[in-house]
Structure formats: C-alpha cells, structure tokens
Amino acid sequence: MAGIQGERRRDVADAGARAAGPREGVAGLDVVDESFYARPVLEVAPALLGCVVVHGDTAGVIVETEAYHFSEPACHAYVGLTPRTAVLFGPPGVAYVYRSYGIHALLNAVCEPEDVGAAVLIRALEPLSGLEVMRLRRGGGAGLSNGPGKLTQALGIELTENATSLIDGPIRILAGEPRPYVTGPRIGITKAAELPWRFCAIGSRDVSRPWPPGLNARG
C-alpha cells in the first residue's frame, strides 16, 4: 500500500507540474551557455552557486556544488572512456545523471572542453518555485532539496535525462546572482576526500551538511 501511495503522490505531483502556470522567480533569467561550462571545473563549480536549476515548473537556486576531474579517483572519468562515462568526455553543458547506491539519481553538469572528463555535482538547492509539487514528490521527507538525491526527487529529474543538454534540454541552468562561498573537502566519498573541492554558499540553510568553522571564505 505504501508503494501505491508513493506512486500516486508522484503522479499527482507530475500532473500538477505540467498544469502549473508560469514559473515564479525565474522570469528574465538567461540560460547559461556552453562557454560557461567549457572552463576548468574548479572555476565552474563555485560559479554555479546562485544559478537556478529549472525542470518543468519547479526550480531551485544552487547553494552547494562539488567538482570532479578525471585526474582524481573519486571522479567516474578516472577509469577512462566507458559506456557509462562517455557523457563526461562529451561536450560541456550536458547533464550527467546517474544512480547512486541504486537509489538516488544525481545531477551533474559536464565541464571543460570535450574529451577531458570533468563535471560538477549539484549537491543542494534553495527551493524557488513549484514548492507544492516538490513537497508532493518528496512525500513529506525532511528537507525539500538540501541534498543531491533530494533535489532530483523534488524536481522530478530522471535517469532518462542523462546526456541531455542543459542549454535547450529538459533540465536547464539559468544565470543568477553570484554567492559568496566557503570551500572544504567533498563529502560522502572515500577516495581523494582530502581535496577542498566542495563549495557552499555562505549563510544558506539548505546546504546538505553545515560547513566546519575555519574554512576559506571567498566572494
């Protein structure tokens, strides 16, 4: 019964998203173009803070990201070109959506020139529009989008949207207001965990995990 109720909630949420009116909070924002993503991943990851992820009639402001590069073992591209990692070696500005631990779909933005192998994981969003739909999809879980698996569930992002354009595809990232940020080690990984490649918007209550004191603040 719980499974049926969960499916019903998702169906209602998806129908509501399709029927909703214009998105509040995103009017007038421009889509981030390919040149934005073609830069080094350590430039793109903090630059994405303050940008807006839009999917259907739901949207959220990016407040936490992590950078991944083929040169370090936590990146999927570290193993080289495979059917799974091919999208990471493709053109920048494309979504890399994969399943984590067989449960959560995670959203990444492919970065750097083609054939490099790098991406930014979108770790957390501040809900911006379509909040009722997001709540229905989350099924009453704690936090709407303060985690990489939560945000894809809230926005209704599916594995079928892997390798789609972030410029003119179903998932789009819009330019927003830059956010001052702190840096620290990535979380939830065991390899290259010491690299300070996690970027969190200062003052946001929607980051997936509060940052420890003493981390470098940048604006």
Cβ proximity of 165 and 93 under 8 Å: yes
Tokens at residue 110, please? Answer: 């492919």
Tokens at residue 213, please? Answer: 């004191």
Cβ proximity of 152 and 162 under 8 Å: no
Predicted local confidence at residue 148, as pLDDT: 96
Tokens at residue 118, please? Answer: 């790098």
Q: How many CA atoms lie within 13 A of 89 on its CB side?
A: 14
Predicted local confidence at residue 71, as pLDDT: 84
Predicted local confidence at residue 214, as pLDDT: 54
Average pLDDT of 95-119?
93
Predicted local confidence at residue 212, as pLDDT: 62
26 pLDDT more than 90: no
Strand 217-218 relative to strand 95-100: parallel, antiparallel, unpaired?
Answer: unpaired
Alpha helices in the chain (DSSP H): 2-19, 34-37, 41-47, 131-138, 148-155
Tokens at residue 106, please? Answer: 């995670």
Q: Pick the more confident residue, 7 or 98.
A: 98
Average pLDDT of 114-137?
96
Alpha carbon of residue 148 to chain centroid: 6
Alpha helices in 54-201 (DSSP H): 131-138, 148-155
Q: 2, exposed or middle or buried, with CB in 10 Å at 0-12, 13-18, 19+? A: exposed
Reported as a pLDDT band with limits 50, 70 and 90, residue 158 is very high
Reported as a pLDDT band with limits 50, 70 and 90, residue 161 is very high
Strand 217-218 relative to strand 181-184: parallel, antiparallel, unpaired?
Answer: antiparallel
What does the mean pLDDT of the chain come to? 86
Reported as a pLDDT band with limits 50, 70 and 90, residue 100 is confident
Distance (Å, rounded) from C-alpha 211 to C-alpha 120? 19
Tokens at residue 165, please? Answer: 């354009």
Q: Tens digit of pLDDT for each residue in 72-86?
A: 877 898 888 999 899
Amino acid 86 reads A
Predicted local confidence at residue 215, as pLDDT: 54
- Of the chain, the percentage scoring pLDDT greater than 90 comes to 68
Predicted local confidence at residue 27, as pLDDT: 78
Q: Tens digit of pLDDT for each residue in 137-157?
A: 998 767 899 999 999 999 999
Full set of structural domains in the chain with CATH: 2-218 (3.10.300.10)
